[in-house]
Structure 1
Amino acid sequence: MTARSVFARLGDDQRLAKAMISHIPILFEDGRIEEAVEGAAAAIETMMLLGDVKAVASAHQVLAREYEVIENWDESLRHAMQSLEIGGTALTPYERAATCGLALSAASKLGRRSEVAHCVGILQEAFAVDPSLRGAFVKAFEGEAELLAL
């Protein structure tokens, strides 16, 4: 019996939603993108009802990362921006910087300068709070960082 079926049987909506979020990468890898997106939407709806904005932001971040892998830059950017918007101050500076890196990568591939500028502002705030993030970010996103002279 899978975790999802156990949590569904128990009526544990929060754990079911988190299990569905954790299955997103597996489903994407198996090419079951529609199933992953539908499960993510249900999980996001549940987590919003429960007021768990951090889990909602995490789900959007996972979707952004998976869309990046398959080079769907529009969806990657959309989910990264939703993660940042919904997560707000609930996200740690590291989580904001990592999500911003996803958004920055997609926005630069799409040539969307306003989103790039927005991400640079968020990154600068994160770097001000935790200067050690700058080095990690520059290494992880060398091309974008050089482009933006961070």
Structure 2
Amino acid sequence: MLWALCERIEMFRKLVYLATLALCIGLGIAIEWIHSYHETQDKSDKSQMLEKVLTHANIQILEENYSCDGKPVQTVGAVIASIIEFNSSHSKNMVSYGCYNETCTISYTDCKPWQSSECSSRFLKFQLNETGNIKKNSFSCFDMP
């Protein structure tokens, strides 16, 4: 009888351990999912940058700076339109943009955290001058497989 009681206690401990493990895994997944939708940058900075870029929508990207697949139109506006078009096929925003020093990028990435291959990215990169204005001849577009 004592042996049966010890077996039941041990089985109960294993069930509690498994339930706790499942709860922690579920909680971690839920927190990560919620965090993935959290905004990390100030919207006003982003919208100002987009406004600046869109004023250059008709600028032709130089042939040596254009390495994007697809449409033959090589303007800044066409690249932004392709990024928005790619992004519209997802329920989650896959576009990111920002600046580091005087180099800015707007990019779309279709890479899931669990993928090590078969994902793609498109980048529109440009430079800022010392006053913070966009250098018109600095636009480049490139795709990463």
Which TM-score bucket, shorter chain as reference?
Answer: under 0.3
Task: Give me the TM-score of the superposition, normalised by structure 1.
Answer: 0.22
More strand by proportion, 1 or 2? 2
The structure that is helix-richer by fraction is: 1
Structure with the bigger RCO (C-alpha within 8 Å, sep 6+) is 2
